[in-house]
Amino acid sequence: MYVAVKGGEKAIRNAHKLTAKRRRGDTSVPALTLEQIAEQLSHAVARVMGEGSLYDETLAALAIKQSRGDLIEAAFLMRAYRTTLPRFGYSQPVDTAKMLVERRISATYKDLPGGQMLGPTFDYSHRLLDFALAAEGEGGDLDAETSPVEDEPMPRVTDLLGDEGLIEPDPAADENAPVGDLTRDPLSFPADRDLRLQNLARGDEGFLLALAYSTQRGYGRTHPFAGEIRYGEVEVEFFAEELGFAVTLGSIKVTECQMINQFAGSAKTPPAFTRGYGLVFGQVERKAMSMAMVDRSLRWEELGEEQVAPAQDGEFVLSHSDNIQATGFVEHLKLPHYVDFQAELDLVRRMRGEWFEKRAREDAETAAKEAAE
Amino acid sequence: MNATAQIFDQGEYNFAYLDEQTKRMIRRAILKGIAIPGYQVPFASREMPMPYGWGTGGVQVTASILGKDDCLKMIDQGSDDTTNAVSLRGFFEKTANVRTTYETSEATVIQTRHRIPEKKLREDQVLVFQVPIPEPLRFLEPRETETRKMHALEDYGLMHVKLYEDIAKNGHIATTYAYPVMVNDRYVMDPSPTPKFDNPKIDEMAALQLYGAGREKRIYAIPPYTKVKSLDFEDYPFEVQKFDKPCGLCGAEHVYLDEVILDDKGGRMFVCSDSDYCEERRAAGHVGPMAANPAAQQIGGHGTNAEEASR
C-alpha cells in the first residue's frame, strides 16, 4: 500500500520494474528492434528528433521503444540525453536550395522550374484501413517507381517571386550578427525572429497545429498559401577553425515550408507578399506548415498589423510551445502537495466557520425582528 | 576530446551530473542573486533527466554548489522519505556519491520542496528551494515583459490591491502558501510554495537560501541575515497558521502539522510535517497523545520497512 506517499525507495524500484515488464508486454511476441522502429515508424522518429531537438534516428528509435510509444516522453529522453553532449559549435547555414529533393510541391503554381514532385505522402490516399497489413502481408505495392533523386538545384518558389520583387525579401542577414540560442541563454521577451523560429522548431506539433488552425478561423487571419513544401536531404557543414574551411559533417532530412501570405504595404514599402517559414527534422509536414503560419502570425508588429489573436502573442506562444516543459509542469501535480493543501484546508475550514456563524447571527436577528413585530 | 566526452567514454557522468561549464554559469547566476537579494536572475537552465516541475531548478543549484565533502539532505513536504525526495536523493548519491542524511543538523546542503525544517539552520548550511513559479506577480500579470518592469520600478501596487481585495472579500488574506515577502526592503519575492507558516523562518536566517526555478529559468537568493518581511497591513498584520493540537506522535507544538486521515469515519490525526524533527523528539522521549494508536505506528516511522529504517 502507498501510505501518505511515504516509504518511497522500494515502491519506486518496484514501479520501475513493473513498467519495464509492461513495456515488453507479452514475451511470446518478438521484441521490437530499433531498426524496425526507425524504418517503419519514421514519422514518429522524425517527430521525436524534432521535438527532442537532436537528430539521431537510432537514438530516437530507442527513445520510442523505451517510452512505449509515448512520443513526448521519447522527446524528453532525447532532450535529457542531448543536454549531456559536448557542444563544439554551430554549423554553417543549411542551403535548402541544394536539397536532394524527395518531395516538393507548390500550391501557388501549376508547374514551375524543377517541377512538382509528389514523393511519399498520405495526400490523395483514401483513408481505408489496409487489412492486408493486418494479415502481416506487406500491403500496397512495394515496387513503387522512384524517379532518380533530383540533384540539380531546385529554385525555391519564394526566390522566383523574389526575382520579380513580389515577395518581401528575406531580411538581409548580417554575417557577423550572433544567432540566438535559447538552449544557452534563457528566452527573454520580446524575442527576435531567430529565437522565435528556434522555439517553434522545437515546439509541440499539436500546439502549433491548433494555433495555425486558429488563424485560419479568423483569430488573426494571414491569408496563407502553401508557396512550397519540400522534403529531402541536406548537407550540414561545420567551419573548422583549424582547417580554415568548412567540412561536411553529414546529411539530415528536413521538411521546409514557405508560406506566402497577404501583401502588406505602407506609404514607405510597396505591396508585396509576406513570408512565414517552417523547417523541421524529417518528414513532418503538418508541423512545418503550422510553424510557417505561426511564424507569420508572430510577425504582426514588424509588418504593421494589429495584434488581436493568441497566435500573434509572442510571449504566449513561445512560453507554452515546449511540450517537455508543459508536460513536466502539468504532470508535477501528481507529486505530493499535502503541505500546501493542509494550509488551504485550514483556511477553507476557518472561512466556512465564519460563514455559518454569520448566517446563524443573521437568522437570529431576523427571528428577533419578526418576534418584535 | 574534451572532458565531458571523455567522461562519457568511461560510461560515467561528471561529478553531480552537470558539466563544469554549466556549473560555472549557474554559480555566476547564484552570485548575482546573492548580490541582489530577492532579484530573479535569468539563467540558461538545462534539460535534466527529471521532468520540469519536479525539481530541476533545485537540482541544478544543488549540483552546482555541491562539493565532495558535503552532506546532503533532501526533503519534499518536510519529509525525507516522500517519493520525489527519495528519487532526487538517489540521483545525487549516484552522480555525486556524496554523503546523505535525514538529520537536519548533519546536512551542509538541504534541498527542499514546500517546507523549511523546524530546526534552526546554521551559517554553515545552505537551503536550496525548488521553485515552480518564481514570479510573485505572475497571477496578477501573466506577462514577463510587464512584471520585470514592475520589479524594476518597485511598483508593487497591484500586489497590495490584491491583498486588500482578499480582506475585503473574505475577511482574510486568502494566500496560505507562496505568501509574498519583501526582501531587503526592495524586491517582492515568492518564497516558493512553502506554507506561510514558514515565512518567519526566512527572515534573518543564518543559512544561505538559494531558490532555483528550472522550467522558468530563474535563480534568486537570500543571503544570511537578510531582512525578509511578509507583506501585510498595519491593521491586518501577517499571521501564521496555528494548530489547536500538538503533534499526535511527538507532542510538538508550534510546528507545522500534516493531517492524516485514519479511517472513513472522520478519524484523523495531526503529525509533524518535518519527519526528522518528529523522530528526533520521539527518540528523546517525547510522546504525543496519539502515539499509542496502532495507525500511528504505520505513519510515524520507517519501522514498517527495515531496509529504509537502516539508513
Q: What are the mean pLDDT values of chain A's consecutive 10-residue runs (373 residues total)?
A: 54 90 94 95 97 96 97 96 86 91 90 86 89 76 66 78 84 79 91 95 97 94 91 94 92 96 76 92 97 96 90 96 96 91 89 92 90 81
Among candidate residues A186, A230, A206, A222, the one with its CA nearest the CA of residue A295: A222
Catalogue the long-range contacts made by A111-117 (C-beta closer than 8 Å, 24 or more residues apart): A112/A157, A112/A160, A113/A154, A113/A155, A113/A160, A114/A150, A114/A152, A114/A154, A114/A155, A117/A147, A117/A150
H-assigned helices in chain A? 8-24, 34-40, 42-52, 57-66, 71-82, 131-134, 157-163, 193-202, 205-216, 285-298, 314-320, 323-331, 338-372
Q: What is the DSSP annotation of B198-259?
A: GHHHHTT-SSEEEEEETTTTEEEEE-TT--EEE---SSS-------SS--TTT---SS-EEE
Sign of CA dihedral B200, B201, B206, B208: negative
CB pairs under 8 A between A and B: 159
- Rounded alpha-carbon distances, angstroms, from residue A7 to A13, A29, B10, B306: 11, 35, 34, 11
Report pLDDT for A2.
35
Q: Report the residue from A186, A331, A337 with minimal CB separation from B217.
A: A186
Amino acid at A47: R
Alpha-carbon distances, residue A24 vs A18, A20, A74 (angstroms): 10, 6, 16
Residues 6+ apart with CB under 8 A from A47: A71, A75, A205, A282, A284, A287
Exposure of B4 in the CB half-sphere (CA atoms within 13 A): 16
Using CA coordinates, name the residue in chain B closest to A185. B44
- Secondary structure of chain A: what % helix, strand, coil (to 5)? 45, 15, 40
- Give the angle B33-B37-B39 at the CA atoms, nearest 5°: 65
Pairing mode of beta strands A225-240, A245-261: antiparallel
- B23, B52, B279, best to mutate vs chain A, most A CBs in 10 Å: B52
Q: Is A218 exposed, middle or buried (0-12, 13-18, 19+ CB in 10 A)?
A: exposed
- Which of B176, B217, B274 is the best mutation test for A, with the most CBs of A within 10 A? B176
Of A219, A288, A239, A221, nearest to A259 (Cα)?
A: A288
Place of cell 556524496: B98
| Residue A43 CB partners (closer than 8 Å, separation 6+) | A282, A283, A284
Query: In chain B, whose CA is at the least distance from the CA of A348?
Result: B174
Q: Are A50 and A204 within 8 A, CB to CB?
A: no
Backbone angles phi, psi at A307, to 5 degrees: -90, 115
Out of A230-234, A339-343, B106-110, B135-139, which region has the weakest mean confidence (pLDDT)?
A339-343
Hey, which residues of B are catalytic here?
Answer: 38, 247, 250, 272, 278
Predicted local confidence at residue B1, as pLDDT: 38
What mean pLDDT do residues B213-239 have? 96
Question: What 8-state DSSP symbol labels residue A167?
Answer: B
Q: Report the percentage of chain B scoring pLDDT > 90.
A: 78
Stretch B98-104: mean pLDDT: 95
Q: Which three cell numbers stand for residue A117?
A: 514532385
Average pLDDT estimate for B224-250: 93
In degrees and rounded to multiples of 5, residue B147 shows phi and psi of -65, -35
**Residues A327 and A225: beta-carbon distance below 8 Å:** no
pLDDT of residue B233: 94
* Closest residue, chain A, to B21 (C-alpha): A86
CB B282 within 8 A of CB B300: yes
pLDDT at position B307, please? 41
User: Which chain B residue lies closest to A339 (C-alpha atoms)?
Assistant: B77
pTM for this entry: 0.87
**CA distance, residue B54 to nearest chain A CA (Å):** 6
Cross-strand partners of A290: none
pLDDT attached to residue B299: 66
In chain B, what percentage of residues exceed pLDDT 70?
91
Reported ipTM: the value is 0.82
Picking from B310, B246, B304, the residue whose alpha carbon sits closest to that of residue B278 is B246
Written as nine digits, the cell of B285 is 522521549
Sheet hosting strand B228-230, strand order edge to edge: B187-189, B181-183, B228-230
Distance in angstroms (rounded) separating the CA atoms of residues B98 and B63: 11
User: What is the SS3 assignment for B10?
Assistant: coil
CB of A296 closer than 8 Å to CB of A200: no
pLDDT for the residue B7:
40
Specify the 3-state DSSP secondary structure of A178.
coil
pLDDT in the model for residue B57: 97
Chain-chain contact of A345 with B259 (C-beta, under 8 angstroms) = yes
Question: How close does chain A come to B251, measured CA to CA in Å?
Answer: 19
Q: Average of pLDDT values for B135-157?
A: 95
Q: Which contacts (CB < 8 Å, 24+ apart) does range B25-30 have?
A: B26/B60, B26/B61, B26/B63, B26/B64, B26/B219, B27/B64, B27/B65, B29/B219, B30/B61, B30/B64, B30/B65, B30/B210, B30/B219, B30/B221
Residue B5: pLDDT band (50, 70, 90) is very low
Cα separation, B141 vs B150, in Å, equals 10
The residue among A230, A280, A232 whose CA lies nearest residue A112 is: A230
Q: Which of B221, B44, B134, B61 is nearest to A188 (CA)?
A: B44
Half-sphere exposure of residue B296: CA atoms within 13 angstroms, side-chain side = 19
Inter-chain touch B48–A8, beta carbons under 8 Å = no
Residue-averaged pLDDT of chain B: 90
- B48-99 per-position pLDDT tens digit: 999 999 999 999 999 999 999 999 999 999 999 888 999 999 999 999 999 9
The per-residue pLDDT for B292 is 81
Residue B223 has pLDDT above 70, yes or no: yes
Phi and psi based region of residue B217 (left: phi greater than 0; alpha: psi -120 to 50; beta: remaining): left
- pLDDT surpassing 70 at residue B267: yes
pLDDT, position A269: 77
Partner-chain contact A185 B44, CB within 8 Å: yes
- pLDDT at residue B143 in the model: 92
The residues, any chain, with a CB within 8 Å of residue B153's CB and separated by 6 or more, are none
Please give the helix or strand (H or E) that residue B129 lies within, else none: strand B126-130
Better pLDDT: A4 or B259: B259
To the nearest whole angstrom, how far is the Cα of A231 from the nearest Cα of chain B? 29
Provide the 3-class DSSP secondary structure of residue A105. strand
User: Which residue type is seen at A222?
Assistant: T
